Amino acid sequence: MARKILLFLLITCSSCSSVYRFSINVQEPAAVTLPVSAQNVLILNNTVIQPNDLGIERNAGGKPIGSIYPLSMDSLAWFAINEITHTFNESNFFNTIAIYKNNIRMDSDWLSVPQSLSPELQSEFYNDEDFSALLVINRLLFSVKEDITNIKIDAFSSLMNVFLDLHVDGSITCSMYVHGKEKPLTTFTVSDSLFVKSMIYSDSTDIFKDIPEYILHELSGQLGNKVAEYFIPAWKTANRLVFTDLTARMKEATGYASGNRWANAETIWNVEFEKATKPINKAKIAFNLAVANEMQDRLDSAWEWAQKAKEYLKNTNQSDNSQEIELTDNYISELERRIQSNRLLDLQWGK
């Protein structure tokens, strides 16, 4: 389970509150849990290219740009697919990722999401190189709003100085099929946007064509990345803390914790816990022991120690120790969420 805690970083020390705060990176399960057998994925382009005069509103000096500098939409789905492939490969979550190089869509309805792949077509792709999952890109849509104003032409060159206000929204719809199931395991849509508000000094081709096409390509990649993240576990930052005080042993334990030597800190806190007599002190040390166990991937033991901390806090002045009560309750909730997440992670990693 060590893979589920990637990084320990001490970030603050507050002697006033007698708390050391730090951050860890914890692994979160993917939004979609695939069968462990789905290790070889083939990505299929099932989109229809969006016409470059629909969903596109572009003006320069109050006049439509339109057909003078048309935007090329032909390759945008492939930009998204290439980013999905890259993200999948970087994750090391799958064995084989491949792209079917031809578009499989037969109709021309660019706004529609096609029906499920026929069993015959699925079988054909599964049998090609023994693939076990098919990720199908069904639709890719963009809305472009561009206004170019304050146009000033350089009298000594062909360059222009303009203010560019460009906003591009995009959405992508995908389905994931797994071998042995006729219907998609999941179908979903993700959206994103990019915008530019800037003075630009360049030639007309760069301003009217290259820049907006570059933004479209970048947004296609971002959408592809979002699609890939649906299927792979990800890392996120979580905040943690331990209680300390000015006594030599507690300071020593905190020093071990700050050096990521949790077993040493745990040994000291165990001794101090047995010596403590006041409920508030026992509660704080039990909290620390919960954190020490979590840092050593013993989440069930961490939860048990956190529950002990909560029980001891019940025997203290609730008003005076409201902060400790809130911290403990929040930590128990976070531990319970992590325990559930780790069970799902074990399924996704095939453990």
My answer on whether 199 and 292 are in the same domain is: no
CATH code at position 259: 1.25.40.10
My answer on whether 170 and 86 are in the same domain is: yes
- Residue length of the chain: 351
pLDDT digits 0-9 by tens, 167-220: 999 999 999 999 999 999 999 999 999 999 999 999 999 999 999 999 999 999
8 A C-beta contact, residue 58 and residue 284:
no
CATH code at position 78: 3.40.50
My answer on whether 19 and 133 are in the same domain is: no
My answer on whether 169 and 269 are in the same domain is: no
How many CB atoms are closer than 10 A to CB 75? 14
Q: For residue 271, what are its two tokens?
A: 């001794």
My answer on whether 152 and 285 are in the same domain is: no
Q: For residue 53, what are its two tokens?
A: 């005069």
My answer on whether 86 and 188 are in the same domain is: yes
Q: Is 35 contained in some domain?
A: no
Q: Is 11 contained in some domain?
A: yes
My answer on whether 219 and 241 are in the same domain is: no
pLDDT digits 0-9 by tens, 254-268: 999 999 999 999 999
pLDDT of residue 158: 82
8 A C-beta contact, residue 76 and residue 220:
yes
Boundary of a domain, candidates 232, 267, 302: 232
Boundary of a domain, candidates 180, 212, 232: 232
pLDDT of residue 84: 98
* CA–CA dist 129, 283 (Å, integer): 58
Q: Is 100 contained in some domain?
A: yes
pLDDT under 70: residue ranges of the chain: 1-17
pLDDT of residue 3: 42
Query: H-type helices in 65-163, by residue range?
Result: 76-91, 119-127
* CA–CA dist 332, 338 (Å, integer): 10
Torsion angle (degrees, nearest 10) of CA 80, 84, 89, 91: 130
My answer on whether 82 and 217 are in the same domain is: yes
How many CB atoms are closer than 10 A to CB 96? 14
My answer on whether 10 and 25 are in the same domain is: yes
For 131, the domain range is 40-232
- Count up the domains in the chain and report the number: 2
The residue among 10, 4, 1 whose CA lies nearest residue 260 is 10
My answer on whether 249 and 314 are in the same domain is: yes
pLDDT of residue 37: 92
My answer on whether 122 and 245 are in the same domain is: no
How far CA 99 is from CA of 76, 106, 169, 219, 286, in Å, comes to: 15, 18, 25, 20, 53
Q: Is 86 contained in some domain?
A: yes
Q: Is 34 contained in some domain?
A: no
My answer on whether 148 and 259 are in the same domain is: no
Q: Is 21 contained in some domain?
A: yes
Boundary of a domain, candidates 200, 232, 264: 232
Q: Is 118 contained in some domain?
A: yes
Query: Which residue shows structure tokens 């026992």?
Result: 282
Bridge partner residues of 58 (DSSP): 146
